[in-house]
Amino acid sequence: MPFLPVSREDMNERGIEQLDFICVTGDAYIDHPTFGIAIISRMIEAAGFTVGIIAQPLSDADFKALGKPKFCFMVTGGNIDSMVSNYTVALKKRNDDAYSPGGKGGRRPDRAVIVYCKALKRLFPDTEIEIGGLEASLRRFAHYDYWSDSVMPSILVDSGADFLMYGMGEVTLSEMLNRFKQGQRLSDMHDLRGICYLTKPENTPLGAVQCDSLEIVRENKKAYAKACRKQYDEQDEVYGRTVVQRHGNMMLVQNPPQRSVTQEEFDYAYELPYMRAYHPMYEKDGGVPAIQEIEFSITHSRGCFGFCNFCSIALHQGRRIQTRSEDSVYNEAVMLSEKPNFKGYIHDVGGPTANFRHPSCEKQEKFGLCKGRKCLAPVPCKNIDPDHSEYICLLRRLRSIKGVKKVFIRSGIRFDYMLLEKNSTFLDELVEYHVSGQLKVAPEHASNKVLDLMGKPHIEVYEEFEKKFYASTKKCSKEQYLVPYLMSSHPGCTLAEAIELAVFEKRHNIQPEQVQDFYPTPGTISTAMFYTGLDPYTMEPVFVPRTSEEKAMQRALLQYYDPKNRSLVEEALTMAKRRDLIGYGKDCLITPDRKKSESLTKGVNNGKKSISAKKEKKKTVIFHNRGNS
């Protein structure tokens, strides 16, 4: 199958006078199921509609290139929030963008969904607009915006869009398409699950959970924290209720979450006729870098019951694990192995958490996932059912494919879940067959106080895993290493906790090449902590590192061994009254500054000489006075 139309010429070749739907995206056009817009557009096509793609429009001519759609525009900021794509956590403009031609930044506007929708409303005022994807999904309520340091309204307000599809959209899209076939418009579909819309207050659905209004949460941080908890507590397809939040003279309505895809639906979405490549129009720019990691990677699951507080997956994909069938994944691997540029390596067989391919417990199917609780942290739930057997069978089948030299696992691995299984089969096979010399894991921190606020297991669990990992590598006579992801400046982390993490690194011989500062992205629990200084689940105060100076010190402590960080590390240790860590002991982070010590010693010696000379002079004067008397 060819790429979907991106120009009038493409439409003419297909004999299309007017497209039914036009998808607008902040990414370059890559027709691969890793991209939500690729799945959405191919599903629209498979349902018998015509659909075109406008990728990274910059001018009115770009927006008008495909004309006016019969039904609606569908707009997404792309696979990544446009503000995260465009700015570092230090709010510096990025020059690169892996999802743009040539990897160059500047093709994706700030707040892409809002910019695109405003342009479309101006150019096509009578055409409805549906928004979705990560940027829209996580900004569906009034939310703290790190880049403006303010609470912004639902993206529906600022964009002027008619309809917001949150979360993973396949089921909702299928229902929408059926309704379009019946002659309905988006304004007729306010009863669909998995959507948000604005309405007049008198039309507010009865029995909804009400969050304090935009105006209140802007002024009252306690109200913001409580609203955050309510929004998370209703994100379950079994018991989740309608949630409403007033925005001025309009009411934002979030209908209950859409049901998860069945395995058959998941397989169907990933087996559509994707080109699995970027559009040829980007060849002149050197292609699109994002394809390099995903071209030979396979998604086997979605959802994550790990539920880390700094992660957006619970609010977007959900906590319930959904999986593709073993045959579907196997067939995709065979297809990849037959591509002419396949070198024998499948880069990943994963998802948000690679080793989640099984429900966390039996109860969730009937009762949903526990409200306000986590399956794994701070300690595993007694009902959890750890099981890697299906994933092990899948990986064994993939390893057996002719032409496949290695199947890597590069998605996140939950080592705490892995340790709960009584046998070590998965760990042993992971080490022997699926690690490329280094296994990336995410303990994130070493302070249990901070880990509790992150929603992560305590550091003792990581230490247990570390021992078992290296025992397993020794058993199979391999030299492989753990590469821990660590985070600085998360809410709750003072200099004392940052120092605790640095000492942990020293004891475990960890020297991270990169350190991630906490990034307050829209919609997460940790971002609510950052903004309010409160834990939404306890309403207890939380310390928040805010100044650039303190963040720099925390980041430097995590790379204490780098000579360029020495002065900041010493400043931090002095400020925290931990100069005991400056020396030559096994836990000391830095040694005394020799030049500084020599300078001080020299100064002290010079001072002593000066004082002695003054005393001598004084004695002489006294002596002479006595002599003259």
3-class SS letters over 321-375: CEECCHHHHHHHHHHHHCCCCCCCEECEEECCCCCCCCCCCCCHHHHCCCCCCCC
Residue 277 pairs in a beta bridge with 31
Does the pLDDT at position 23 exceed 60? yes
DSSP for residue 493: -
One-character DSSP codes across 139-166: TSSSEEETTTTEEEPPHHHHH--SEEE-
Q: Mean pLDDT, to the nearest integer, of 409-418? A: 94
Does the pLDDT at position 619 exceed 60? no
DSSP for residue 255: P
Q: How far is CA 324 from CA 159, 265, 302, 385, 502, in A?
A: 35, 9, 9, 20, 41
The encoded tokens of residue 352 equal 């948000």
pLDDT reported for residue 1: 60
Does the pLDDT at position 621 exceed 90? no
Does the pLDDT at position 627 exceed 50? no
DSSP for residue 129: E
Average model confidence (pLDDT) across the chain: 93
Q: Mean pLDDT, to the nearest integer, of 89-111? A: 97
First to last CA, the chain: 117
Structural element, H or E, at residue 55: strand 51-55
Q: What is the pLDDT of residues 260-314, one digit of tens each?
A: 999 999 999 999 999 999 999 999 999 999 999 899 999 999 999 999 999 999 9
Does the pLDDT at position 608 exceed 70? no
Does the pLDDT at position 599 exceed 80? no
- Measured CA to CA, the distance from residue 282 to residue 34 in angstroms comes to 18
Crossing angle of the two packed helices 389-399 and 425-433, in degrees rounded to 10: 30
Residue type, 436: S
Residue 52 pairs in a beta bridge with 22
- Measured CA to CA, the distance from residue 290 to residue 542 in angstroms comes to 37
Q: Mean pLDDT, to the nearest integer, of 24-46? A: 98
Does the pLDDT at position 117 exceed 70? yes
- Measured CA to CA, the distance from residue 204 to residue 244 in angstroms comes to 8
Q: What is the pLDDT of residues 145-188, one digit of tens each?
A: 999 999 999 999 999 999 999 999 999 999 999 999 999 999 99
Residue 53: name the closest of 65, 61, 43 by CA.
Answer: 65
Q: What is the pLDDT of residues 471-525, one digit of tens each?
A: 999 999 999 999 999 999 999 999 999 999 999 999 999 998 878 999 999 999 9
pLDDT reported for residue 629: 29
The encoded tokens of residue 389 equal 């057997």
3-state secondary structure of 425: helix
Contacts 24+ apart (CB under 8 A), 365-368: 366/238, 367/238, 367/239, 368/236, 368/237, 368/238, 368/239, 368/240
Residue 244 pairs in a beta bridge with 210, 253
Does the pLDDT at position 255 exceed 50? yes
pLDDT reported for residue 412: 86
- Measured CA to CA, the distance from residue 305 to residue 501 in angstroms comes to 26
pLDDT reported for residue 515: 85
Q: Where are the beta strands (DSSP E) in 229-295?
A: 243-247, 250-254, 277-278
Categorize the per-residue pLDDT at 623 as very low, low, confident or very high, splitting at 50, 70 and 90: very low
pLDDT reported for residue 551: 96
Q: How far is CA 210 from CA 219, 235, 243, in A?
A: 17, 14, 6
Residue 72 has φ and ψ, to the nearest 5°, of -165, 165
Q: Which domains does the chain have, with CATH numbers?
A: 8-193 (3.40.50.10140), 296-436 (3.30.750.210), 437-592 (3.30.750.200)
CB-side exposure of 101: number of CA atoms within 13 Å?
13
Residue type, 584: Y
- Measured CA to CA, the distance from residue 123 to residue 24 in angstroms comes to 14
Residue 245 pairs in a beta bridge with 211, 252
Categorize the per-residue pLDDT at 622 as very low, low, confident or very high, splitting at 50, 70 and 90: very low
Categorize the per-residue pLDDT at 606 as very low, low, confident or very high, splitting at 50, 70 and 90: low
Residue 274 neighbours by CB distance under 10 Å? 19
The encoded tokens of residue 625 equal 């006075």
Residue 407 pairs in a beta bridge with 346
pTM of the full predicted structure?
Answer: 0.92
pLDDT reported for residue 612: 43
At residue 414's C-alpha, the angle toward residues 413 and 420, to 5°, is 130
Categorize the per-residue pLDDT at 53 as very low, low, confident or very high, splitting at 50, 70 and 90: very high
Q: What is the pLDDT of residues 203-234, one digit of tens each?
A: 999 999 999 999 999 999 999 999 999 999 99
pLDDT reported for residue 597: 52
- Measured CA to CA, the distance from residue 538 to residue 225 in angstroms comes to 10
